[in-house]
Structure 1
Amino acid sequence: MKHLILAAACALSLAACSDPEAERQAQQAAEAAVQAQKEAKADEVARQYDTAVAAKDWERARMHGGSLLDIYKGTAAAARIEPGFADVKAQSDQARNLRRMQGLWQYNQIPVGTKGTQRSASIYGKQRVDVDGSGPKPVQLVFRDHPQWKQHAYLVLQAGDFRCPGGCRVQVSVDGGKPRAMAAWRPDTDEAIAMFITDHAALWKLARQAQAISIEFPVKAGGTRTVVFETGGVDASQMPWK
Structure 2
Amino acid sequence: MKKLILIAACTLALAACTDPEKERQAQEAAAAAAKAAKEEKAEGVAKQYDMAVAAQDWEKARIHGGSLLDIYKDTDVAARIEPGFAEVKAKAEAARDLRRMQGLWQYNTVPVGTKGSQISASIYSKERVDVDGSGPKPVQLVFRDHPEWKRHAYLVLQAGDFRCPQCTVKVTVDDGKPVNMAAWRPKTDEAIAMFITDQKALWKLARKGKSISIEFPVKAGGTRTAVFETGGVDASRMPGWWN
TM-score (norm 1): 0.92
* Structure 2 counterparts to residues 1-242 of structure 1, below 5 A: 16-17=16-17, 19-165=19-165, 167-240=166-239, 241-242=241-242
Gaps of 5+ in 1: 1-12
Q: Which amino acid aligns with 1:155?
A: L
Aligned-residue Cα RMSD (Å) equals 1.2
Deviation at 1:23, TM superposition (A): 1.3
| Residue pair 2:129, 2:136 contacting (<8 A) in 1 also | yes
Q: Which amino acid aligns with 1:90?
A: A
Q: Deviations 1:143-174 (Å, cap 9, x if unpaired)?
A: 00000011000000000000003x00000001
| Residue pair 2:214, 2:226 contacting (<8 A) in 1 also | yes
Q: What is residue 4 of structure 1 aligned with on the other side?
A: none
| Compared CA separation, residues 158 and 16, structure 1 to 2 (3 A) | closer
Q: Which amino acid aligns with 1:101?
A: M
TM-score (norm 2): 0.92
Gaps of 5+ in 2: 1-12
Deviation at 1:132, TM superposition (A): 0.5
| Residue pair 2:169, 2:182 contacting (<8 A) in 1 also | yes
SS at match of 1:36: helix
Q: Which amino acid aligns with 2:109?
A: Q
Q: CA separation in 2, counterparts of 1:16 and 1:93?
A: 53
Q: What is residue 9 of structure 2 aligned with on the other side?
A: none
Q: CA separation in 2, counterparts of 1:155 and 1:98?
A: 23
| Residue pair 2:15, 2:26 contacting (<8 A) in 1 also | no
Structure with max Cα Rg: 1
Q: Which amino acid aligns with 1:131?
A: V
Q: Which moved more, 1:107-116 or 1:20-29?
A: 20-29
Identity %: 78
SS at match of 1:94: helix
Q: CA separation in 2, counterparts of 1:16 and 1:72?
A: 30
Q: Which amino acid aligns with 2:44?
A: E
Deviation at 1:21, TM superposition (A): 1.2
Q: Deviations 1:118-152 (Å, cap 9, x if unpaired)?
A: 00000000000000000000000000000001100
4+ residue stretches of structure 1 with deviation over 4 A?
13-16
| Compared CA separation, residues 153 and 62, structure 1 to 2 (3 A) | same
Q: CA separation in 2, counterparts of 1:86 and 1:16?
A: 46
SS at match of 2:232: coil
SS at match of 1:74: coil
Pairs aligned (count): 229
Q: Which moved more, 1:26-35 or 1:43-52?
A: 26-35
Deviation at 1:14, TM superposition (A): 8.6
Q: Which amino acid aligns with 2:47?
A: R
Q: CA separation in 1, counterparts of 2:151 and 2:135?
A: 32
| Residue pair 2:185, 2:194 contacting (<8 A) in 1 also | yes
Deviation at 1:38, TM superposition (A): 0.3
Q: CA separation in 2, counterparts of 1:73 and 1:239?
A: 48
